Amino acid sequence: MAEGSIVLGVPRETFPGETRVAMVPAVVPVLAKAGVQVVIERGAGEPSGYSDAAFESKGAAVVTRADVFARADLVAQVRAAGANPETGRDDARSLRRGQVVVAMADPLGDANAIREFAASGATLFALELVPRITRAQSMDVLSSMATIAGYKAVLLAAAELPRMFPMMMTAAGTITPARVFVVGAGVAGLQAIASSKRLGAVVHAYDVRPAVKEQIQSLGAKFVELPVEAADAEGKGGYAREMGEEFYRKQRELMARVVAESDVVITTAMIPGKKAPVLITADMLHAMAPGSVVVDLAAERGGNVDATRAGETIQVGGVTLIGPLNLPATMPYHASQMYARNMAAFVQNMIKDGTLALSTDDEIVRETLVTRDGDVVHAAIRERLGLAAATH
């Protein structure tokens, strides 16, 4: 396959426990049609189940890590900058001024890491900032990865729960179905609802945004109505907006009964760039039946449960509390496949006449552009760093 005019380099991920890769063999020919040649570090796809031979068979060049950074016009990664603040520093030293990096970078969570990255002179696009507009749906890595997290959360709960999810009619009598309560009906929550229903559970769900009631019901779950004022609960891009502490206090009081009646609780409530709201207290856990399971998908952001320990499974009374980190990396084959498709769509959007056109007239480019020419250029991140508004 002939080389394209744009070289996209894919290094092996270095963040501890990160098994995903930013490109998969099936997507290489798609990029080739757009004039993009893929070079990938030897062994980069192996943790995800993609061999070097599979990449080569689709036209990618398998090279050393140094060659990836030396040859690439655009470096595609799963984690960069704030999403890989320690081991990613070596990558930053390998970058050159004007080189483009596209990755998840945790820009709103670790603004200082973004400032440090900017010193490399490279241009950074943070995929977490892809605007939630129709044209950008195919680039939405947060939704792709949340789909996997929601699914895996149900499997974790089912494996820990000392009872089965479905109702069964057996010679030994009828087994009643498990009761699952999903808190937060974003992409992860909706996938958790759907997966719990597939396993045969009776599912209830709640979200601070009343507008999602219909989506919850369409998946066969019962929407939990809490008589608490939730005006303006939906922020930019359809995400839940941060509410006041008094709101969360009332919410916890009203939610306590539903939690106590549930065998499994899966919490998914996160606010972009903020600490996750505490929705479930230790007292609420103690009111649950022994053997119940809680999976806190917000563990990485502090947790929706006040007792959550990120990356650990603990016992609180008789309840198993799971605080998983990076669930997509536990299913890296499909997580990488989805991520690579998002990446390809994002890159293709920037290609004009065979070259990378980084025009901020395009909303997608403008909203995801974080660093350029040695400076932090994204307005929200500059504000977090206490910098004056950019003049360019």
**279 membership: H or E segment, kind and range:** none
> Which structure tokens are listed for 88?
């990613």
Nearest of 81, 64, 82, 87 to residue 9 by alpha carbon: 64
6-140+334-384 matches 146-325 in fold: yes
* Location of structure tokens 């293709």: 348
CA 224 to chain centre: 26
Secondary structure (3-state) at 76: strand
> Which structure tokens are listed for 325?
């980190």
**147, 188 contact by CB (below 8 A):** yes
The pLDDT of residue 1 is: 33
DSSP 46: G
**Residues paired with 334 in a beta bridge:** none
CATH topology of domain 6-140+334-384: Rossmann fold (3.40.50)
Query: Which are the catalytic amino acids?
Result: 132, 137, 140, 143, 239
User: At residue 297, what is the residue type?
Assistant: L
**Residues paired with 222 in a beta bridge:** 204
Write phi, then psi, for 202 (nearest 5 degrees): -90, 120
Half-sphere exposure of residue 174: CA atoms within 13 angstroms, side-chain side: 3
Cβ atoms within 10 Å, residue 365: 16
CA torsion 118→124→125→126, rounded to 10°? -50
CA angle 306, 235, 339 (to 5 degrees): 80
The pLDDT of residue 183 is: 96
Task: Give start and end residues of each alpha helix (H) in the chain.
Answer: 28-33, 52-57, 65-71, 88-94, 111-118, 141-160, 187-198, 213-218, 245-260, 282-286, 332-350, 363-368, 379-384
Half-sphere exposure of residue 313: CA atoms within 13 angstroms, side-chain side: 15
pLDDT in tens, the chain (392 residues): 344 589 999 999 999 999 999 999 999 999 999 999 999 999 999 999 999 999 999 999 999 999 999 999 999 999 999 999 999 988 989 999 999 999 999 999 999 999 999 999 999 999 999 999 999 999 999 999 999 999 999 999 999 999 999 999 989 999 999 999 999 999 999 999 999 999 999 999 999 888 899 999 999 999 998 876 555 555 455 555 567 777 777 888 889 999 999 999 999 998 888 899 999 999 999 999 999 999 999 999 999 999 999 999 999 999 999 999 999 999 999 999 999 999 999 999 999 988 999 999 999 999 999 999 999 999 999 999 998 877 65
The pLDDT of residue 390 is: 72
3-state secondary structure 7-20: EEEECCCCCCCCCC
C-alpha pair distances (Å), 180 with each of 84, 109, 136, 153, 157:
34, 31, 33, 12, 10
Cβ-in-10-Å burial (0-12, 13-18, 19+) of 63 comes to middle
Write phi, then psi, for 281 (nearest 5 degrees): -95, 170
Strands ordered across the beta sheet of 319-322: 222-223, 202-206, 179-183, 264-267, 293-296, 319-322, 313-316
Cut 0.85: pTM above it = yes
DSSP 42: T
The pLDDT of residue 2 is: 41
Sequence spans of domains, the chain: 6-140+334-384, 146-325
User: At residue 263, what is the residue type?
Assistant: D
DSSP 372: E
Nearest of 80, 84, 66 to residue 15 by alpha carbon: 84
Task: Give start and end residues of each alpha helix (H) in 119-212.
Answer: 141-160, 187-198
> Which structure tokens are listed for 308?
């959550």
CATH topology of domain 146-325: Rossmann fold (3.40.50)
The pLDDT of residue 233 is: 52
